Structure 1
Amino acid sequence: MAVPIKRRIEAIPGGMMIVPLLIGAVLYTVAPGTGKFFGSFTGALFSGSLTILAVFYVCMGAGIEVRSTPYILKKGGALFAAKVAVSVVVGIILGRLLGELPISSGAFAGLSTLAVVAAMNDTNGGLYMALMGQFGKGKDVAAYSIMTIESGPFLTMLTLGAAGLSAFPWQTLVGAVLPLLVGMLLGNLDPQMREWLGRAVPVLIPFFAFALGSSIDLKSVWRAGLLGIGLGVFVFLVTGAVLLLADKFTGGTGVAGIAAASTAGNAAAVPAIVAAANPAYQAAAAQATILVAASVVVTSLLVPFATAWFASRARKKEEQPVPEGTSS
């Protein structure tokens, strides 16, 4: 008898990232020595998140096509630039207030500049493309090929540096983007490599999510639930407003901007990578991971409803009859 495991996991927003992450976190919280107890390949599954992510970014990069039409460059570039710009501004403000460390007490305990920047910097590409396939144009779907540059820790590291926080050596910055560039090179030189590597992207997600969750103690981040909801709402409202304006600036209706106002599932991996590159962020990494994961779920719920509503509103506006005597 077949059990629809995959279908049930995918019914949860960001399920292929969130469910394995939570399983790993529960195991680490209840039995933190599980990975070491079994060792060998089983132990590697508990501790190999960075290695799996390196492969993930090579495969992700293979799907980025350098040759794009002017429309795709304009639309994707505008959305990409807008999201990065608003992340930098928020990062600078929070960097002045919080520095590298998380808030240690009170209702906002666990919130950090790292968590907010990581949640804002990366768009849920699958969600964006699905929504634009339904409510937008084919060219709007293809615009995500430019926005995939957001993937990975590179932009988050640059944003934190721009905010005046602990800087990263140039070797670390290059190392953060190099797997993506290698994938881009392979995918653009050989379409068959692009197709072959691209098929591995969804397969790798639950594995690095589980390994990432296996370093999180849920007892230390019990407040992240409410904070995570708040972070998700904040990401949606702030980036949504800016992206809507950017979309309209390029001749769109604003629908593509709303559809891009989400947090990508793999953004939950960024805090751990940043902390591995710079120990100054180590104290914030575990709680930031939970907060970003919560933002993934919250924005995955908000964005579809908001996109559908805004698309309906834009369509009704376009269908309104032009008053007599007015040139169309």
Structure 2
Amino acid sequence: MKIMKTVNRIPGGLMVIPLFVGALINTLFPTGAEDLGSFTLGLASGTTPILAVWFVCLGASISLKSTGVVLRKSGTLLVTKVGVAWIAAYLSAQFLGNGMVESGFFAGLSTLALVAAMDMTNTGLYASLMGQYGTKEEAGAFVLMNIESGPLMTMIILGTAGIASFDPRLLVGIVLPFIIGYILGNLDEEVREFLSKGIPVLIPFFAFSLGSSIQLTVILETGLLGILFGLFVIITTGIPLIITDILIGKGNGTAGIAASSTAGAAVATPMLVAEMVPEFAPVAPAATALVATSLIVTSIVVPIITGLYAKKAGKVKFFRKRMKAEVQKEIAT
């Protein structure tokens, strides 16, 4: 059987297929992994440890001379993603304030839902996609993008930064595996070569674990609005991200598409914000459902369109010349 060849024919297949399988199993047998326990449970719920190992391997693959490229790309994507969420929050607040649409097709839509879904990138998904379709420097751009994670950035965007508390140790915990790999890879070329081989191998395992945390039935709760909401997040954030990746990040736009998803951590954000700012409590349940649907939709759609876009962009002469120049510059330095 040509399983690998079939998977590679599907845009983002290395991510999409394991993710969908995990989500389908979790939907049909929500307690299946827990009932079986042991290694099966570890595989289904191992998103964090799998990503931790993946980030060590990724860090080891990046050389010291390419660090500036990583910071430029990650900073570009971070500022663009947060900037778009700021604009969406401002415009939405003019009509909805702290409330939500109470009836009709858009019932449940709120500023809180928009910001929570838009301001956080699924960095694991992004890094995995760029590991498949981009450069190791583009994949390493997740480092600064993790600043988006958690309710802090959402609170800042909503104008309540003084209420939320942020423990700097959490950020250290996020980037430490990457830094360890980075140091080891730059101390020894053999370590870099050894750990770099783990980057593509771990992608489907992360995807399955991520899918195992998703219930496909959440789409039924929000209906067509939830699906359109997820697509809206991709389009609204994706277009500016593509433009800035090309103009500032010096990429071909693929990283912009890959960064247009909703993070898994974003699902918990509405409730966390409501705990700190009680006026958001009435809209938090509906916002949570919409953000969860956006997570599902973007987790499935973003890998597909990233694969399609990367294929098309790779045929553009301008982008091929730019990539060649970047490689030659790296070799020269």
The two structures share one fold, judged by TM-score above 0.5: yes
Structure 2: which amino acid aligns with 1:258? G
Give CA deviations for 1:80-130 in whole Å, capped at 9, x if unaligned: 43222211212323455489999998459686434323348747424654x
The two structures, once aligned, show a CA RMSD in angstroms of 3.9
Q: Is the 8 A contact 1:92 1:162 kept in 2?
A: no
Structure 1: which amino acid aligns with 2:240? V
Q: How many residues align?
A: 286
Partner of 2:315: 308
Q: Is the 8 A contact 2:52 2:177 kept in 1?
A: yes
Q: Is the 8 A contact 2:245 2:252 kept in 1?
A: yes
- CA–CA separation in structure 1 for the residues paired with 2:72 and 2:209: 34
Query: Residues 48 and 80 of structure 1: is their aligned pair in 2 closer, same or farther, counting only changes over 3 Å?
Result: closer
Greater Cα offset, 112-121 or 201-210: 112-121
- CA–CA separation in structure 1 for the residues paired with 2:206 and 2:143: 15
Q: 2:239 aligns with which of 237, 240, 243?
A: 237
Q: Is the 8 A contact 2:185 2:192 kept in 1?
A: yes
Partner of 1:60: 58
Report the TM-score, using the length of structure 1 for normalisation.
0.70
Q: Is the 8 A contact 2:238 2:257 kept in 1?
A: yes
- CA–CA separation in structure 2 for the residues paired with 1:227 and 1:194: 41
Partner of 1:325: none
Partner of 2:147: 155
Tell me by how many angstroms 1:146 deviates.
6.3
Partner of 1:86: 80
Equivalent residues in 2 for 1:210-249 (5 A)? 210-222=208-220, 223=224, 225-246=227-248
Which runs of no fewer than 5 residues in structure 2 stay unpaired?
A: 275-283, 323-333
**SS in structure 1 at match of 2:217:** helix
Report the TM-score, using the length of structure 2 for normalisation.
0.69
Partner of 2:130: 125
- CA–CA separation in structure 1 for the residues paired with 2:47 and 2:122: 22
Q: Is the 8 A contact 2:77 2:259 kept in 1?
A: no
- CA–CA separation in structure 2 for the residues paired with 1:180 and 1:169: 19
Query: Residues 44 and 230 of structure 1: is their aligned pair in 2 closer, same or farther, counting only changes over 3 Å?
Result: same
**SS in structure 2 at match of 1:215:** coil
- CA–CA separation in structure 2 for the residues paired with 1:306 and 1:108: 38
Q: Does 1:263 align with 2:258?
A: yes
Structure 2: which amino acid aligns with 1:215? S
Q: Is the 8 A contact 2:155 2:273 kept in 1?
A: no
Query: Residues 159 and 9 of structure 1: is their aligned pair in 2 closer, same or farther, counting only changes over 3 Å?
Result: farther
Sequence identity (%): 30
Q: Is the 8 A contact 2:131 2:199 kept in 1?
A: no
